[in-house]
Structure 1
């Protein structure tokens, strides 16, 4: 019997997670409890899109584990807005940017050749750079500075898959 490829493993894991998520929603009539993080509402029928500051009060900076941050601040929904706040580079502040990767493998390896800069060095200052989660799809974000060093060693990367909203008004 042939071994699973990494792609097959990821697809199988995603299918299991989605099946469990949707079956729990059906079993409880789309519950108001969050199946992912205690204290967060999963019921999005009455919720308006949120504006979420990436990194919370610590903003977009080197050394914060953004994968952990995204787990604790989910779930995310279509039409939610992520705000990336970071200072423009200067003598004491390293540069930061925001890249969106096309696929998981580029994200995993921090391969910036297969990513698109969506927030440049200066867009994070002031009110920050805003990115709206437009569709139910995986989004892979990372800082592209220092040739991927911030992504690889600084934990400045995370992925989100926003859930669809059940009401069409948003």
Structure 2
């Protein structure tokens, strides 16, 4: 009986040693001073992913005939505090088809390209140079954008419209 108790105690010590060895392998700095500390140093937790600036249309910018709905689907998701940059040429002798940026109040006015209740957010000159910047300021908001020029023709026929939902910013976990 005494021999069995000694064997049992020895097995417990072997198990404890195995667990400690496993822990040291899982956390390489556990039992040395390689810049690690035990318990592991706690960081400040997750941080919000920083906002980004997105040029609408990418290298195509904002122009007649480009499919912005497809572009938005490929380049989403979009998050609160991201900035959309609309770049387009101002009116000139060589550019007789200027562009603007309107925001529709509803899905139905967007689908019909009905500009009567839409709000102009950038006029025909605002897209020059570095472009016009629009910040997505509300989470879970549906945004409906279009070019309002030529009485809605650029919106309905020229594919110069897209919609998006601004989502809450994601978090990045440190570890």
Q: Same fold (TM over 0.5)?
A: yes
- 1:55 corresponds in structure 2 to 57
Equivalences for residues 13-52 of structure 1 within 5 A = 46-52=48-54
Pairwise CA distance, 1:69: 0.2
Q: How many Å separate the matches in 2 of 1:125 and 1:97? A: 11
Q: Secondary structure at the match of 2:166?
A: coil
Equivalences for residues 34-113 of structure 1 within 5 A = 46-93=48-95, 94-113=97-116
Which of 143, 147, 150 is matched with 2:151 structurally?
Answer: 147
Pairwise CA distance, 1:45: 5.4
- Is 1:164 the counterpart of 2:172? The answer is no
- 2:123 corresponds in structure 1 to 120
- TM-score with structure 2 setting the length: 0.68
> Unaligned regions of 5+ residues in structure 2, if any?
1-45
Pairwise CA distance, 1:155: 0.3
Q: How many Å separate the matches in 2 of 1:80 and 1:149? A: 28
Query: Contact conserved, 1:45 with 1:165, CA < 8 A, in 2?
Result: no
Structure 1 residues 55, 166: CA separation in 2 closer, same or farther (over 3 Å shift)? closer
Q: How many Å separate the matches in 2 of 1:147 and 1:165? A: 36
Query: Contact conserved, 2:103 with 2:144, CA < 8 A, in 1?
Result: yes
- Bigger fraction of residues in strand: 2
Q: Secondary structure at the match of 1:114?
A: coil
> Unaligned regions of 5+ residues in structure 1, if any?
1-43
CA shift digits 1:9-45 (9 cap, x unpaired): xxxxxxxxxxxxxxxxxxxxxxxxxxxxxxxxxxx95
Q: CA RMSD in A?
A: 1.4
Q: Which runs of 4+ in 1 moved over 3 A?
A: none
Q: Secondary structure at the match of 1:138?
A: strand
Query: Contact conserved, 1:109 with 1:152, CA < 8 A, in 2?
Result: yes
Structure 1 residues 69, 45: CA separation in 2 closer, same or farther (over 3 Å shift)? farther
Q: Secondary structure at the match of 1:83?
A: strand
- TM-score with structure 1 setting the length: 0.70
Length, aligned pairs only? 124
